[in-house]
Amino acid sequence: MVRKVLDATDSSPGSAGNSSPIDISREARGLSIVLLYAAYENLLKGISRSLLEAAIQLKLGNRRLRPEFQVFAIHSKLQALTDISTAQIWKGSGRSVVDALIDKTCSINSNIFPNDGSHMKTPQVVTFCEVFGLTPPGPILREAWGRINTVVSERNSVAHGQRTPEEVGRNYSIGEIRNLVDIWERRWCDFLIEVESTASKRDFYRDPR
């Protein structure tokens, strides 16, 4: 989709968008950053959901899950502990967490995303990989790794009305934005392939004890 937007608005000589009476190429480049962010956020959240659904489908009880997945299984109970008094921890509420950990059924909610509050910047990707026990992301994402924070910041500036798409688009030539799109697609596909390979084994979800 990003490439279609760029093709339709490219005002370079001989390009498809050169015949348009209005030059909106800078706006298109700015909106491309927003779309790259959306694709990245959707991918990460989609992977999270898929991994949790895969764990659920294995029909393992909470007690047989790897610790990484046990945290998801007791997530709601952990959240509940933040709203109770210290005395209650030692009574029913605290004990309910222990009971959930040894439960023979699976209580994972696949809609949970391990949000760390960094608003999709690089620490979020690191947290994501640590939470699921995945390979560190930097070496896999390579050129894209150093671009994540810029994409997030520029997307946020547009989404929050601090800058216009045209202002963000001025930072890039058409060649630079096309190169970024290629890098983004290639490296995030590499990341997805790595996750699929790692998560294809039953022991990724199951405690080997």
Biggest alpha carbon–alpha carbon distance for the chain: 74
Report yes or no on 208 lying in a domain: no
Report residue 20's pLDDT band, with 50, 70 and 90 as the boundaries. Answer: low
- In sequence order, which residues have a C-beta less than 8 Å from that of residue 114 and are 6 or more positions away? 48, 127, 128, 131, 132
On whether both 88 and 169 belong to a single domain, the answer is: no
On whether both 135 and 47 belong to a single domain, the answer is: yes
On whether both 53 and 124 belong to a single domain, the answer is: yes
CA distance 37 to 110: 22
Report residue 3's pLDDT band, with 50, 70 and 90 as the boundaries. Answer: confident
Report residue 66's pLDDT band, with 50, 70 and 90 as the boundaries. Answer: very high
Q: What is the mean pLDDT of residues 63-75?
A: 96
Q: Which range marks the domain in which residue 126 is found?
A: 1-8+24-59+120-200
On whether both 28 and 71 belong to a single domain, the answer is: no
On whether both 35 and 68 belong to a single domain, the answer is: no
Report residue 81's pLDDT band, with 50, 70 and 90 as the boundaries. Answer: confident
Number of domains into which the chain is organized: 2
On whether both 160 and 125 belong to a single domain, the answer is: yes
pTM given for the model: 0.88
Q: What is the DSSP letter of 87?
A: H
For residue 208, pLDDT over 90 is answered with: no
Report yes or no on 205 lying in a domain: no
On whether both 76 and 30 belong to a single domain, the answer is: no
Whether the Cβ atoms of residue 172 and residue 26 lie closer than 8 Å to each other: no
Whether the Cβ atoms of residue 20 and residue 13 lie closer than 8 Å to each other: no
Report yes or no on 48 lying in a domain: yes
CA distance 46 to 164: 29
> Quick check: helix, strand or coil at residue 75?
helix
On whether both 180 and 137 belong to a single domain, the answer is: yes
Report yes or no on 130 lying in a domain: yes
Picking from 48, 77, 105, the residue at the C-terminal end of a domain is 105
On whether both 55 and 3 belong to a single domain, the answer is: yes
Q: What is the pLDDT of residue 4?
A: 82
Report yes or no on 87 lying in a domain: yes
On whether both 101 and 136 belong to a single domain, the answer is: no
On whether both 143 and 69 belong to a single domain, the answer is: no
Report yes or no on 39 lying in a domain: yes
Q: The tokens 């697609």 sit on which residue?
A: 185
Report yes or no on 143 lying in a domain: yes
Radius of gyration of the chain (CA): 22
Mean pLDDT across the chain, nearest whole number?
92
On whether both 86 and 99 belong to a single domain, the answer is: yes
Report yes or no on 168 lying in a domain: yes
Rounded (10°) CA dihedral 87, 90, 91, 97: 130
